[in-house]
Chains A and B, each alone.
Chain A
Amino acid sequence: MAASSETMLKKPHVGKKRKPPTRYWEGTEEDGKNDGKKQKEGDNNEQTPQQNNTRTKKGGKRGGKRGGAGKKVISGKSDPFPGSAPVPEEKLKKFKRGVKGELPPRPQYKLRDVVIRSEAASDLAQKQNARYDLMLPEDAGFLEGDEDEDTCTISQDDIVDAVDITAGAKYFSLTLSQFGPYRLDYSKTGRHLLLGGRRGHVTCLDWQSKQLMCEMNVMETVNDVKWLHSEALFAVAQKKWLYIYDNKGIELHCIRKFNDVLRMQFLPYHFLLATASATGFLQYLDVSVGKEVVAICTKAGRLDVMAHNPHNAIIHLGHSNGTVTLWTPNQREPLVKMLCHQGGVRSVAVDKTGTYMVTSGMDKKLKVYDIRAYRPLQSYFLPAGASCLSLSQRGLLSAATGDIVQVYRDVWGIPVTKPYMAHRAKGSVWGVHFCPFEDVLGVGHGEGFTSMVVPGAGEPNFDGLDANPYRSAKQRQEWEVKALLEKIQPELIGLDPSQLSQVDHSTWEQKHEDRVQVLGFDPLAKEKFTPRLKTKGRSSSGKVEKRKKQVAHEDQRDVIRQTVEDRMKMDKERKEKEKKKAAAAGQKSALDRFRK
């Protein structure tokens, strides 16, 4: 670090071919062309004001897209760029939601109006979103080596030498050899780091400023640690029970309902802490109210592989029989059961968009699935097998094999043969986790913690209203309230998050069944007849039976009576009809006299 001047002279590995992020004033080439055209048009306008006027009139009639075209303002100048600025197609595509419906064919004005209005609203939203997308100017780049140079051979030190000092500071390692291999978790904003050593060492820190928030030893085995919705609270799965601490290290709760927890996942929008225990239970804890939502017995043995799908908040569990199961708190059975590996599943990771799932198994294979269609996309063989997997926001995959952390790029696309980056940790890796909004991969290992710089890992543009890494305490509080208000109920978790916007097609029977299940009884069921007690020997068992018999099958009888009556009526009608027909037919035959 000290000899930075020398190192700077060297060929830097990083940021060489990285193109600068597009700024809003630059625009795409097409835009430029369009502008040029428009400029020309403007010139024409100046030359032939008459023509222009007529043209603008037409334009105005057409739809007002170029409403202000050439309209004279008081200064006498005409707008050279009339109308609203064009929005690039790709960006529009990015914010497209669903398919546009066609107008109803019948001239039902109300329906038509509703449809038209909603279409217009969604168009507007889409367009504006696309337009304001330029507010996200940061672009992500990747490490690119020289010719014949593998990027995986570039060491962290090289990178640190090449990059600026703040970026370089992101590569650091904490030597914590005493309390065994560490698991780790980054907070949602990516600002805070939580470390849990197997031998009870729990610490949380603001890793960027290296400010320690708390450090303690819980004097118990720590299986997993997890931040809750904010950096104020975290959960620690200890040997027996689940504990919740605040960022000062004060134990807030000891939740005894959650025992033998091995792995935890936090669903930020649902405020649910999902835990998988050694006893095979998958439990959901609503941290906003502190209640257990559901405890599902998976009947799949020890659950030490867990991941959650950020797209639809479904929990993925890996099992020792090579299957991965998908769970919601609403069903007692797995929604999907996938046979992924021949051996047991060692780790599972799910893409941010909820499209891809990466699994690694005891059979030393790494597999990529499309979990929308449940189809395998790629299958890789890792000689050492991957113990921990983590996917970054931009789709980089980190796999820990022994003491080596490998990072892969685009594993679901063209089959990769080499890792994008690799780094040797000091001890065997116990947990890897990409830091959100940063090009950083945190690695917890036997000898402590290492923060790696992985260019292109994090999402460069953060949503300030959702997860703002630079938020103040006040902002955090504000956000917390809002997030709590917008909390999604656990019932809404399902495979298809858009299911809520669909009309329920279930039949009456199904609904009734659900109702019965919810209520615990059938509200439409008839009360059982219990004969009144009568005195003077009238309540003898025989008489009671008789009375029962009188009432027995009452409803059925009613039905039968009704049907019989109906049938009679029908018959009568039919006969009358026939009679009429016969009358209409006119002539009585000679044989009619014999008819009764």
Chain B
Amino acid sequence: MFFVVVLHPSLLIHQLLLQRQLSDTPSKYFFLTNLIVLPVLQISSYPHLSISADLGHEFQLRSTQHLMSSNMPAVEHALLRQRTTDLTPIRHLRYTCVSCEFLVKMAKSKAARKSGETMKITSSCETVVQGTDDEDDEELQRALADDIISASEDEGGSDDERKHCKLLEAISSLGGKKRKKLTERSEASIQVSEFTVNAEGEGDKINLSDLIGTLDKTPSALIKTKKQLKNLQHNQSTLETPLTRKETEKIQREVAFEKTSKEVSRWQSVVLQNQKAEQLVFPLNQEPSGPKRIEQVVAGWKAQTPLEQEIFSLLRMNKQPLHDPVLTPTEEASLRAMSLEEAKIRRAELQKTRVLQSYYEAKAKRGKKIKSKKYHRVQKKVMRKEYLKQFDEMVKTDPAAALEELKKMELSRMKERMSLKHQNSGKWAKSKAIMAKYDDGARKAMQKQLEVNKDLTQKLVIPADEDEEDEEESAETLPDFVNDVEPILDQVNPWMRGKLSTEPMMEESNRLDPPVWPREVGKPGEGRDDQEEDEEQMEETEEESLLRGFEERRKLRQTEDVKVAPMPMEENDEGKKAEILEISDDDEEAVEISDDEEALEVSDDEEAGLSTFTSLFHGLVNHMELPADQPKAGPGLGQGESPALLEEGLVRVRTLEDVELLSQDISASDTALLTTQILGTEETDTQSATRQADKKRKKMIDPNEVLTKEAKVIEMPFAPTAVEDVEDKEEQRVIIKEAFAGDDVISDFLKDKRKQEEAGRPKVIDLTLPGWGEWGGLGLQPSRSKRKRFRVKVAPPPPRQDQKLPNIIIAEKRDSSIAAHQVCQLPFPFENPIQFERTIRSPVGRTWNTQNAVQKITAPKVVTQLGAIIEPIAREDLIKDNRQAVTGPSINLESDQGPQKKRRSQQKKKHKRKKN
């Protein structure tokens, strides 16, 4: 257990006081002085200990005999967290103390113990006294004193004046000076003696080991602390010796260097940029001179006076343009909205929708009016019945009207008789008459017609409305296509073929809804009105029979169509491969796609034949890969038996693939031609090349025949009349000489050239010394081996410039005069002469350049304003924009634009930086 009691040294006084106050209660109290950490002190085992510590680190444990009795429980409470290491600067410690209250309580408890009661002292209160000021201390002390007083009052009941005075004195005596004296511990103990405190053995010092020794006896609860203590004992770590001055300085220097280098490196970019800059304009951060553009002026202007600010705020609020006073955003938006094209498009869209709407409305209206057949039937029936009823009534009520009605009927009869509409004379009837042989339905229809006729022509007493209507119905119920052209038997006739172009669509529709085919009876809607059905069975059957005929035919064709594909497979699988067949199928399809009308009409066998033919054709092509199947195709066509097939073949030869093949063929067949052509062209090319070469040769005279070359004769408009008069005799002589010199001109020249070449050739250095190692003398040559050995051969010079120019001698001697003006050493940043030469290739002077260009090219590297103070780059600039070059405007070489542009670009840069 740690028992930590920290007391301010000034509290010692209170201890003393306490001692006095508690003096009537004999013996048992204790006090602990000055901030100490006492490890594992079981006070019970050391009842007579008084622990003291002076301002140093020294512990003093004194036995205060009467402090605690052995049976007093351990003082557990005053555990204060305070580190021992903090001991040293004592004035700055957080002073914690066990308050006087505690002490008082302790005293109380001790008083109580008199009555034989053991009390556990709990640390109910723990006052933490902070501060280092003397004032605080004094306050504390005052408080303590009060407490003490009160305690004493409580305690004793009768507190004499003397004690109080003493206390006051003690308090008043509190001061810096007397403190030391008061802390004298040893004296106190002697004084204490009057309170039966024995000062026996007060001078003895106690070692820590003695304290630890007791630990051994204590039970295992303290093992941990023991360990720690041991560690403490073992830990003999001393403070390291301070570093030498040199070393510390070195470290300091290093740190300082780092710091400064960091500081300086912030300038790096600026310095680099300035080094790189084309032109530096001093003083820095100048406003560019010269006239500004009005935009800049406007943009750069800021409202300063309150009036202006107010105006601007108003403008801003109303979203008026500030800088570019052209259009407000709303105006722009409106303009955008008013864009002509968009408006047009919108209008067109609206129109379209309106038109569509009206169209659909009309359609719906019409559709609404249209009633179904059944509806009409029912309607008619109802009408008929009603009519009959009316007629009956009419007969009864109004016979005149009934007579009228009868007359009407009579009229209709007459009409029928006149027109013979229901006789078998009409077109429909005639067609039916033909069909009637084979078709029951047709026959029936004809009979019906005749019956109608009979009815109509009969003179009726009672009007036979039903028949009439029946007749009408039958006419109505006949499908439209009855009147269409009959299915054409003669497929060859191209005129007939065209009509049926709609068929495939129908076919498709049939395919799409198969329930149509089996029977209409199965339909759910049909079941409702069976009666009507029964009534109209006749007509329906007729219709159906017709329809059935059509459908049957169609179905047949369908199946045939389906069959068409597999057919060739069966036929051709003897020797053909699957791929070929696929190709053929594809071909077939292609055929159908390309000309479906014909393909549909073609009969099965024809088609089959054709497909076989095509497959054969492809097989041939694929197998043999003969490019020349064009001739094959010819006889193939010829083999076709029927004229239809022939025709068909003619039509359908050109499918896509066929076309491709054909093109191949053509290409193949053409290749030969082409090659021949190419050969021809090559020949011509070579010819032309030779011709060109000739031309070149013509253009450039071969240097070998400069003199011998035949020259172009130039026609002269008029012949010269005057002959140059020869002045001097000498000249004449020269001329004569020249005239005759012509022959050896060439040889002279060649000789000269040879001589020059010889002179240019490096000479062999002969180092042979006659007489060395052998006999020497007049007429004796050094031996060949020796000559060979001592002849130093120099590397041959580079080929002469005039090597290939027979009529030219070019001097190989170096012209050193210009060397003095040439650059003899490559300037710094360049790596090779070519780079340098390219940079100086274009002239700089005014003779070759425009004034503007010259000014730009020769702009000085540093420009200073006359009379202006050039200050160093300010730190603020650096911080403001670290990356900004403090350069002036760079010389704009890319384009010839004014200064505004530059400024703008700079502004842009700034913006960018801001973004960054």
A residues near B (Cβ < 8 Å) are: 47, 50, 63-65, 67, 72-74, 76, 83-84, 97-101, 104, 108-111, 113-115, 117-129, 132, 150, 152-153, 198, 302, 320-323, 328, 330-331, 333-344, 362-363, 365-367, 374-384, 387, 401-404, 406, 415-419, 422, 424, 427-428, 446, 465-466, 486, 489, 491-492, 494, 499-506, 510-511, 513-514, 517
Pick from B278, B326, B712, B819: contact of A378, CB below 8 A: B712
Contacts of A343 in B (CB 8 A): 738-739, 741-742, 745
How many angstroms between the C-alpha atoms of A335 and B718 in the bound complex?
Answer: 40
Q: Establish whether residues B722 and A402, one from each chain, have CB atoms under 8 Å apart when the complex forms.
A: yes
Give chain B interface residues in 797-854, CB to chain A under 8 Å: 802, 805, 807-811, 813-824, 826, 828-831, 833-843, 846-850, 852-853
Q: From known contacts A374-B810, A378-B701, infer whether A417 and B712 are also in contact, taking CB-CB under 8 Å.
A: yes
Contacts of B815 in A (CB 8 A): 328, 330-331, 494
Verify if B761 is at the interface (C-beta below 8 Å from A): no
How many angstroms between the C-alpha atoms of A172 and B199 in the bound complex?
Answer: 155
Q: From known contacts A97-B842, A120-B894, infer whether A503 and B720 are also in contact, taking CB-CB under 8 Å.
A: no
Contacts of B895 in A (CB 8 A): 64-65, 67, 83-84
**Least distance between A147 CB and chain B CB atoms (Å):** 18
Instruction: List 6 A-B pairs, Cβ < 8 Å.
Output: A121-B857, A152-B717, A331-B813, A362-B739, A418-B717, A500-B822
Verify if B748 is at the interface (C-beta below 8 Å from A): yes
Give chain B interface residues in 685-737, CB to chain A under 8 Å: 698-701, 703, 706-707, 709-725, 727, 734-735, 737
Verify if B746 is at the interface (C-beta below 8 Å from A): yes
Q: Establish whether residues A422 and B717, one from each chain, have CB atoms under 8 Å apart when the complex forms.
A: yes
B262-298 toward A: CB 8 Å interface, digit per residue (1/0)? 0000000000000010100000000000000011001
Contacts of B718 in A (CB 8 A): 404, 422, 424
Q: Establish whether residues A510 and B816, one from each chain, have CB atoms under 8 Å apart when the complex forms.
A: yes
How many angstroms between the C-alpha atoms of A377 and B700 in the bound complex?
Answer: 5
Pick from A323, A335, A492: contact of B818, CB below 8 A: A492
Q: Establish whether residues B822 and A330, one from each chain, have CB atoms under 8 Å apart when the complex forms.
A: no
Contacts of A115 in B (CB 8 A): 835, 838-839
How many angstroms between the C-alpha atoms of A363 and B870 in the bound complex?
Answer: 77
Q: Establish whether residues B897 and A84, one from each chain, have CB atoms under 8 Å apart when the complex forms.
A: yes
Verify if B749 is at the interface (C-beta below 8 Å from A): yes
Pick from B712, B745, B749, B821: contact of A380, CB below 8 A: B712
Contacts of B819 in A (CB 8 A): 504, 506, 511, 514
Contacts of A123 in B (CB 8 A): 893-894
Pick from A127, A132, A402: contact of B720, CB below 8 A: A402
Contacts of B857 in A (CB 8 A): 121, 124-125
Pick from B278, B742, B836: contact of A363, CB below 8 A: B742
Verify if B856 is at the interface (C-beta below 8 Å from A): yes
Verify if B405 is at the interface (C-beta below 8 Å from A): no
Instruction: Name the residue of chain A whose CB is nearest to the CB of B829.
Output: A111
How many angstroms between the C-alpha atoms of A278 and B771 in the bound complex?
Answer: 54
How many angstroms between the C-alpha atoms of A533 and B836 in the bound complex?
Answer: 57
Pick from B701, B727, B853: contact of A376, CB below 8 A: B701
Verify if B117 is at the interface (C-beta below 8 Å from A): no
Q: Establish whether residues A101 and B715, one from each chain, have CB atoms under 8 Å apart when the complex forms.
A: no
Contacts of A84 in B (CB 8 A): 895-897
Give chain B interface residues in 291-312, CB to chain A under 8 Å: 294-295, 298
Contacts of B326 in A (CB 8 A): 72, 74, 76
Q: Establish whether residues A321 and B749, one from each chain, have CB atoms under 8 Å apart when the complex forms.
A: yes
**Least distance between B548 CB and chain A CB atoms (Å):** 66
Contacts of B712 in A (CB 8 A): 378-381, 415-417
Q: Establish whether residues A336 and B814, one from each chain, have CB atoms under 8 Å apart when the complex forms.
A: no
Q: Establish whether residues B810 and A150, one from each chain, have CB atoms under 8 Å apart when the complex forms.
A: no
Contacts of B805 in A (CB 8 A): 374-375
Most chain B Cβ neighbours within 10 Å, of A98, A419, A504: A504
Q: Establish whether residues A47 and B339, one from each chain, have CB atoms under 8 Å apart when the complex forms.
A: yes
How many angstroms between the C-alpha atoms of A502 and B818 in the bound complex?
Answer: 10
**Least distance between B208 CB and chain A CB atoms (Å):** 65
* Interface of B: prevailing SS: loop
How many angstroms between the C-alpha atoms of A330 and B278 in the bound complex?
Answer: 40
Q: Establish whether residues B278 and A382, one from each chain, have CB atoms under 8 Å apart when the complex forms.
A: no
Q: Establish whether residues B896 and A337, one from each chain, have CB atoms under 8 Å apart when the complex forms.
A: no
Contacts of B901 in A (CB 8 A): 64, 67
Instruction: Name the residue of chain A whose CB is nearest to the CB of B894.
Output: A120
Q: Establish whether residues B850 and A128, one from each chain, have CB atoms under 8 Å apart when the complex forms.
A: yes
Q: From known contacts A125-B853, A335-B811, infer whether A401 and B716 are also in contact, taking CB-CB under 8 Å.
A: yes
Q: Establish whether residues A428 and B722, one from each chain, have CB atoms under 8 Å apart when the complex forms.
A: yes
Q: Establish whether residues B714 and A417, one from each chain, have CB atoms under 8 Å apart when the complex forms.
A: yes
Most chain B Cβ neighbours within 10 Å, of A108, A322, A416, A424: A322
How many angstroms between the C-alpha atoms of A100 and B852 in the bound complex?
Answer: 22
Q: From known contacts A404-B716, A404-B720, A503-B822, infer whether A117 and B893 are also in contact, taking CB-CB under 8 Å.
A: yes
**Least distance between B607 CB and chain A CB atoms (Å):** 58
Verify if B595 is at the interface (C-beta below 8 Å from A): no
Q: From known contacts A120-B894, A381-B712, A404-B716, infer whether A73 and B826 are also in contact, taking CB-CB under 8 Å.
A: no
Verify if B752 is at the interface (C-beta below 8 Å from A): yes
Instruction: Name the residue of chain B whose CB is nearest to the CB of A76.
Output: B326
Q: Establish whether residues B742 and A428, one from each chain, have CB atoms under 8 Å apart when the complex forms.
A: no
Give chain B interface residues in 229-250, CB to chain A under 8 Å: none
Contacts of A132 in B (CB 8 A): 850
Verify if B758 is at the interface (C-beta below 8 Å from A): no
Instruction: Name the residue of chain B whose CB is nearest to the CB of A506.
Output: B819
Q: Establish whether residues B717 and A97, one from each chain, have CB atoms under 8 Å apart when the complex forms.
A: no
Q: From known contacts A381-B712, A419-B714, infer whether A337 and B752 are also in contact, taking CB-CB under 8 Å.
A: yes
How many angstroms between the C-alpha atoms of A506 and B821 in the bound complex?
Answer: 13
How many angstroms between the C-alpha atoms of A511 and B336 in the bound complex?
Answer: 77
Contacts of A492 in B (CB 8 A): 817-818, 821
Pick from B720, B820, B836: contact of A384, CB below 8 A: B720
**Least distance between B752 CB and chain A CB atoms (Å):** 7
Verify if B135 is at the interface (C-beta below 8 Å from A): no
Pick from B723, B748, B808: contact of A402, CB below 8 A: B723
Verify if B341 is at the interface (C-beta below 8 Å from A): yes
How many angstroms between the C-alpha atoms of A98 and B842 in the bound complex?
Answer: 7
**Least distance between B107 CB and chain A CB atoms (Å):** 89
Q: Establish whether residues A499 and B722, one from each chain, have CB atoms under 8 Å apart when the complex forms.
A: no
Q: Establish whether residues B278 and A419, one from each chain, have CB atoms under 8 Å apart when the complex forms.
A: no
Q: Establish whether residues A320 and B741, one from each chain, have CB atoms under 8 Å apart when the complex forms.
A: yes
Q: Establish whether residues A104 and B831, one from each chain, have CB atoms under 8 Å apart when the complex forms.
A: yes
Instruction: Name the residue of chain B whose CB is nearest to the CB of A401.
Output: B720
5 A-B pairs with the lowest CB-CB distances in the bound complex, closest first: A402-B720, A98-B841, A101-B838, A122-B842, A120-B893
Verify if B324 is at the interface (C-beta below 8 Å from A): yes
Q: From known contacts A101-B838, A384-B719, A494-B815, infer whether A362 and B850 are also in contact, taking CB-CB under 8 Å.
A: no
How many angstroms between the C-alpha atoms of A391 and B745 in the bound complex?
Answer: 27
Q: Establish whether residues A379 and B711, one from each chain, have CB atoms under 8 Å apart when the complex forms.
A: yes
Q: From known contacts A401-B720, A406-B716, infer whether A333 and B820 are also in contact, taking CB-CB under 8 Å.
A: no
Instruction: Name the residue of chain B whose CB is nearest to the CB of A503.
Output: B833
Task: Beyond A98-B838, A339-B749, A341-B745, list 7 extra A-B contacts (CB 8 Å).
Answer: A67-B895, A97-B841, A113-B276, A115-B835, A343-B745, A387-B724, A416-B714
